[in-house]
Structure 1
Amino acid sequence: MSERNSAPDFLKIKNAMRHFQTPEGSLVKALDGINLTIAQSEFITLLGPSGCGKTTLLNIIAGFERLDSGKILLDNSPLLELPAHKRPVNTVFQSYALFPHLNIGDNVGYGLDIHGVAKQERNKRVAEALEMVGLQGVEKRRPTQLSGGQQQRVALARAIVNRPKMLLLDEPLSALDRNLRMKMQIELKNLQAELGICFLFVTHDQEEALTMSDRIVVLNGGKVEQVGTPDEIYHRPASRFVSEFIGESNIFSGTVSRCENGLALVNADGSEIVCQSQQLRVGQPVSLLLRPEHFQLVAGSPASGTSSQAMIQARLQQSVFIGRDHQLHCQMANGQPISALIRSAMAAVQPGQAIELHYDPAAVHVIPAAAQQSADEEAA
C-alpha cells in the first residue's frame, strides 16, 4: 500500500457490498467488501476491466445506486443518508448530456438556477467556470456549435460551477480522438490542481490512469487488487492480475533453484531467469515480471557471452515498427512467447533469427506465490 499525501482523510469507504441479481436468478457481486480511504486533494483513478465494479462504486457515491451493506463517509459525515441532489459531489459522464435547446451559459448555470442563486452571482460563477476550462466568451453559443472537446469542457464547467467538494468522472474522455484525449488529460490534471478538490476518475484505459493519477485503485471482480502510485502499480504490481493488466508484461513462473551473491536463479519451464534474491529461498515458487522495455538486444548465435548482464535466448518471430521503437515478438526455447521493446536503431534483425535479450536482474519484479495468495485474501 502506498503512502498518501499528508492531507486528512476525506472519503472513507468501509466494507462496501453491492450485489445484482441476474435474469437467471443468480447474484453477481459488483462490489465485494471494498475498503478505501482518499485524501481531499487527491486525483484518484478507479481502473479495471469491464464489470470490475468501478462505475458501480462511482454511482453509489453519486447517489444513483445503493449499497447493500457498508459505509461511506465524506468529510466524516455519513454520505449515504443524503439524497443524490443534496450530496456535495458532481458527476461528469461519458456522454456530455448537454441541453441542446439551451446556450452554453444556461447549460453551465443550470444547477445554480435550480438552487436559486442570484442572477449577478450566477453569471459571475458561470464566467469563472468557463474561464477555468478555457471557454470564456462562448456563453451565447449552442452545444451544436462547439466541437466534441469543447462540449466536454462545457460539461466540466457545469460540474465545477456548483463548487462541489468532490468531482466524479465516469470515463469522460473515451469518446474523444487520441490527440484530443491526451490534451484533455493534461487539462484535467491542471484543473484538479487549480481547484484543489478530490477527483475520482473512472477509466479502463491504463495509459490514461498512469498519466493522470496521484494514486490508482485497481479493481477486479468487485475487489481491490492494489492501491498505489502509478510508479508502484507499474513497476511493483502486487499480484499477477495487476502485472498482466497494467502495460505489456512478460510473466515467468517457476521455482528458485539457487541463491548466491545476492542473486537468485529461477527455473521457469527449463529456462533460467536471474533476479535479485530479495530473501528468496531455494525451492520457493515465484512469479517474475519483466517489462518489454527492460531488454537490450544482442543479435547473433545464442550464448555468445557478449554481455555481463543476465540473458534470455530467443528466436525472433515478428518485428512491429511503432514509431521510434520496434516491438519484437519472440519465442523462447521452451515455447513461451516473450516481447521486447527495442529502440529502432538497435532492431536490425530478421524473423527467424536467433537473438539474445539481455536484462538487469534488478529490473525483475518478484511476486512470491505465497505473497500473491496473501494479497488476494487480504483484498477479499
Structure 2
Amino acid sequence: MSGENQQFATRCIHAGQSPDPTTGAIMTPIYQTSTYVQTSPGEFIENYDYSRSANPTRTALEANVASLEGGKHGIAFSSGVASLAACIHLLKSGDHVLLCDDVYGGTFRMFNNVFAQLGIQFSRVDMTDLDATRAAMTDQTKLVWLETPTNPTLKVIDIEAVAQIAHDHGALCVADNTFASPYLQNPLALGADIVSHSCTKYLGGHSDLVGGILLTSSSELAEKLHYVQNAVGAVPAPMDCFLLLRSTKTLHVRMERHCENAGKIADWLTGQDGIERVIYPGLDSHPQHRIAAKQMRGFGGMITMTLKGGLPASRRFLETLKLFSLAESLGGVESLVEHPAIMTHASVDADKRAALGIDDGLVRLSCGIEDAGDLIADLEQALDAAKTV
C-alpha cells in the first residue's frame, strides 16, 4: 500500500522513515554531523553537503509531518516563531499581512516589534466575522495569517472560507495548526497554502524540545521556504528532529486521550461555582461549535475559562493546583495551566487584551493524558481554595 493511501496512524509511524540501510536500525539515526564528504568538488552523496542546508534526520522529519498534514513538502525550523519568520521573509517592505485578532503573543510581538520597523504592515481582524475579514483586505495584503482554535480564547475560524477570501485578493493563506495538530485538522485540504506548527507543543508532546515546521503542497513555495531556511539558518538540531520523530509515532493515541480528557473536564467545569465562563470547541455553548465539528475530527485538549474574583482568585487557583503545573507552553503529556494576561500574552497591549476578553480572571488549561478523574479532583480543590479569597 502506498504511503498516501495509508491511514493516519500508519503514517505517524512509517511516513518518511525506512530502516537504516547500513545497519537495519528501525529508528532513523541521529546524523550528528556538520558536514559531508564530497566524491569530487561539488558532487554530493544524496545531495548532502552541509547540515544547515540538509540533514538526513531532518529530511525524515520533514517528510513525516508533511505526510500527516497531507502536504508534499516540509521545512523544519528551530522554533515555531522561526517558522513564522520564514513566512514573513516571503514578503517585501510595503506588503500588508492580515492577522486574526486573537493570536499567540509571540506572533503579535514578531509583527509589532520586529517586522513592522522593516516596512511589513499588519492589521488584525476577528476572522470569525467573514464580512469584516473581507473588508480588512487591502490591495497590499499579500498574506493572511490565522490560528484555529485561537490562542487563548479558542475562537474557531472557518479555514475554507478565509482561504477563499485570501485567494480572491491574490494573497497567501497560512494556518497555524498548533492547537489542533494534524490528527484533528488539515488546513491544506481546506485551501490553506501553508500550514505552520510549533513542534514544541502536540507534535513534540513531551515538553522536552523546541521546534517549528511549515508544510505546503506548492513546489514553488517550498523552494522559496527552503531557500530562507538555508539562508537564515534557524534549523533544528538532529537530536531534536530525532525526538520529534519519536513523538509523532504516538501522536494519534496521545491526541485521542487529550481530547477525551478535555471533553470530560469541560463538561465538569460547566456550571461550577466560581467559574464565569468555560470555552471549549466541543461544548454546544461555543459560538463556533458547528464550524469546529465541520472541520475538526475532535475538539482538542485546550480549555479556557474565566474565574470569578479576578486576579486574586485566579492567582490562588493557579498556586493551589498540584497535578496541573503552572508553566507556559502546552500539548505535553502532563497537564499545564497558565495565566495569559501575565504569561503568554503579556506582550500584547493591555487594551487589545481587554478587547479580546483576556482579563485577570482568564486561565488556560492544557489537559494532559493523566487520569481524568484525578485532574478533575485537582481542579475541584483549587476552585474551592479560590473561593476563599
TM over 0.5: no
* Higher normalized contact order (CA 8 Å, seq sep 6+, divided by chain length): 2
TM-score by length of 2: 0.28
Name the structure with the higher helix share: 2
TM-score by length of 1: 0.28
